[in-house]
Amino acid sequence: MTTVKSAPTMLATIAEPCCGITTPGGLTREQAETSAVLLKAVADPVRLRLLSIIRDSEGGEACVCDLTPAVGLAQPTVSHHLKVLAEAGLIEREKRGTWAWYRLVPGRLDDVRAIFG
């Protein structure tokens, strides 16, 4: 006699682990969303260069007037990239006279590393 098994339903597939994972692991939804904002900010070659230039600058800070020629882009474009980095909490901005100076937020790059650690 041949036994016919019914196809598993989607609900059964979700409820029963197939490969031995019995507890939810990894990031929570909120952690994943927060991490995605951070990763999107650093997922651009210009922004990575800006971060490295700021990190390696004397005193750990750099003026926008020095960052613009360093990456070879127009000031409005560099300002946009700096704004993205600032909104992600990776850099801080301080206005000094007519120029803006940027520095890394202490420990924030550790947050990027921690996503994968």
- Residue 56 covered by a domain: yes
- Residue 4 covered by a domain: no
How many domains is the chain partitioned into structurally? 1
**What is the reported pLDDT for 24?**
66
**What is the reported pLDDT for 39?**
93
pLDDT at 11 over 70: no
**What is the reported pLDDT for 23?**
61
pLDDT digits (tens, 9 = 90+) for 61-98: 999 999 999 999 999 999 999 999 999 999 999 999 99
- Residue 20 covered by a domain: no
Single pTM value for the model: 0.75
pLDDT digits (tens, 9 = 90+) for 26-48: 788 998 898 899 999 999 999 99
CATH number at residue 55: 1.10.10.10
- Residue 80 covered by a domain: yes
- Residue 104 covered by a domain: yes
Quote the domain boundaries for residue 93: 29-115
- Residue 87 covered by a domain: yes
Instruction: Count the residues in the chain.
Output: 117
